[in-house]
Amino acid sequence: MESHIPIEIHAQKLSEWLTSRKHCKKDWHSHIQPIREKINVAIQDMPENNEIVQLLSGAYINYFYCKRIIEILKETEADTKNLFGSYGSQRMKDWLEIEKLYLKDNVYLAEACDLLVQNIKYHIPAVKKQIAKLQSGQTDCDKKIEDYTKSIQTCKKDLETLRKQFAIVDDNSSFKRTLIGRLCELQKVYDDVTEHVKNLKKANTYFSLFIANIQGSDINLPMLQYILNNGNTTYYEYLYGEKPSKIEEPVLTIEEDIKDTTADEEIDWGDLENLSENIDYGISLEESGIVVENVQTDGSIARGNEALTLLDNFQTKNEFMNDILELESFLSMRLLELSNETNSVLSVHSGGEINESKPEITSMLDIIKVVKQKLNDPVVQHLQQIKHSPRYLNKLESMFFQKVNNIEKMINSQIAVSNKKKELAEEYEQLVPKLKLIQQKNKQLITEIEFDISKKYKNRPVYIIGTSIFGSS
């Protein structure tokens, strides 16, 4: 009846179990070293056999491997067997000696159990952990590659926008020279705006009449009124009421090799540093020779800020835009009142001088919209900043080439990550079969240990439990 009761041994206590039952001695480790030395010598002289090659390839040769090698040698060395059943082959003698040493005091069983515990507690979990790390690494690489792809696309899109805005054909050409060459386009924009402003004369009159009727006082839009009457004159003419005899705008020059020089060395910007405020160039009317009352032939020269047109001068341009926005707000309010068909207390009768119909006001607003679009165009604003600030030009150039360099860096980084992922994938492909092989041999080792212990207990079923806890499967 007892022969059918299974024996269950926890893997972690297997060596202790064998020692406590006198199957193995505690000093079994001291007998292993001589055996390992003999095995290392014996494997140097082996017959050509595929199974032997497989047994010896990268595996720890334990007692059960030795038994299988002896079985193979019985076939390969059969011609050396004498009448008394012994073998004359040195190979066979070496392996039989190894088997004998293993069987003494069940050293083989102690070693096999120790190897089993090492596998399930350390080797297999370590390989599994490495595989998981490789999988995680590949996932991280995929995410980085995706992020780089998005960043590259965004950067390329931004770069293409800059190229289109500034008509940059070749990244290797002079960026500053290209932009400075486009500054002449500003005057065309100003001329176009001035032509559209002429069509706002009726709107300006309507605004003035309306305010005069409501408030009883004359309030107009001074900068808009001036440009309507005189056009986009120089700031000098606006200040002194006369045209200059000569206009001397800041001369923009550029060095041949602009990438290796500073902004101050590249361009003679005069004293144009401030973008939003009046600029004091340190030139008084007396010093410059300008006399308003008595114009001299060489005295009425517009220099520096005074040489700029009203739409090119930041201060007067802002005043003009404020007038435009005020007129737009007024017309929008009037259009809303007419759209609601209300008899607003703010309605005004202009005595037939102006028609305040909805289509007419809508047309006025359309003109204002065109004027705003032209002056607020990003390219125009960039060119204005470039004309008045060398620092801005340097910043723009730096931003452009930074995007070019960033794209190149990100592409190189993406390639590096792709190569890293490839390396991880190759290592993963090597470790997965290795893990399966270790697990397979470990299961075989468990079976052999269970079978060997079972023989010592009249073939009672023996089960080694707890192997899954340590990751043996």
Q: pLDDT tens per residue, the chain (473 residues)?
A: 566 789 999 988 999 999 999 999 999 999 999 999 999 999 998 888 888 888 887 668 899 999 999 999 988 888 777 766 677 788 889 999 999 999 999 999 999 999 999 999 899 999 999 999 999 999 999 999 999 999 999 999 988 888 888 778 776 667 888 888 888 899 999 999 999 999 999 999 999 888 888 776 667 899 999 999 999 999 999 999 999 989 888 766 555 444 443 334 343 434 434 433 443 434 333 333 333 333 334 458 888 889 999 999 999 999 999 999 999 999 999 899 888 755 444 454 444 444 578 899 999 999 999 999 999 998 899 899 888 887 888 888 888 888 899 999 999 999 999 999 999 999 999 999 999 988 998 999 999 999 999 999 989 999 999 887 555 55
Q: For residues 213 and 370, give the distance between their C-alpha atoms in angstroms, rounded to a whole number.
A: 29
Position 210 scores a pLDDT of 84
pTM of the model: 0.63
Position 258 scores a pLDDT of 41
The answer to whether residue 105 is domain-embedded is yes
- Pick from 288, 308, 328: which residue ends a domain? 308
Q: Which two three-digit tokens encode residue 322?
A: 């404020």
The answer to whether residue 399 is domain-embedded is no
Q: For residues 435 and 195, give the distance between their C-alpha atoms in angstroms, rounded to a whole number.
A: 81
The answer to whether residue 32 is domain-embedded is yes
Phi, psi of 234 (to 5 degrees): -75, 160
- Whether residue 450 contacts residue 462, with contact meaning beta carbons closer than 8 Å, is answered with yes
The number of domains in the chain is 2
Position 253 scores a pLDDT of 59
> Which of 335, 329, 322, 344 minimizes the C-alpha distance to 363?
335
Helix/strand/coil for 293: coil
Cα distance between the two ends of the chain? 33
- Pick from 246, 276, 308: which residue ends a domain? 308
Q: At what angle do helices 185-198 and 222-230 cross, to 10 degrees?
A: 100
Position 398 scores a pLDDT of 87
Between the CA of residue 469 and those of 124, 233, 462, what are the distances in Å? 12, 90, 19
The answer to whether residue 186 is domain-embedded is no
> Which of 406, 378, 387, 374 minimizes the C-alpha distance to 165?
378
The answer to whether residue 449 is domain-embedded is no
The amino acid at 458? K
- Whether residue 106 contacts residue 14, with contact meaning beta carbons closer than 8 Å, is answered with no
> Which of 371, 417, 410 minimizes the C-alpha distance to 151?
410
Position 216 scores a pLDDT of 67
Q: For residues 303 and 299, give the distance between their C-alpha atoms in angstroms, rounded to a whole number.
A: 11
Q: Which two three-digit tokens encode residue 90?
A: 């040195």
Domain residues for the domain of 127 are 7-131+462-470
Q: For residues 300 and 310, give the distance between their C-alpha atoms in angstroms, rounded to a whole number.
A: 18
The answer to whether residue 313 is domain-embedded is no
- Pick from 262, 283, 308: which residue ends a domain? 308
Phi, psi of 78 (to 5 degrees): -60, -30
The answer to whether residue 264 is domain-embedded is yes
The answer to whether residue 426 is domain-embedded is no
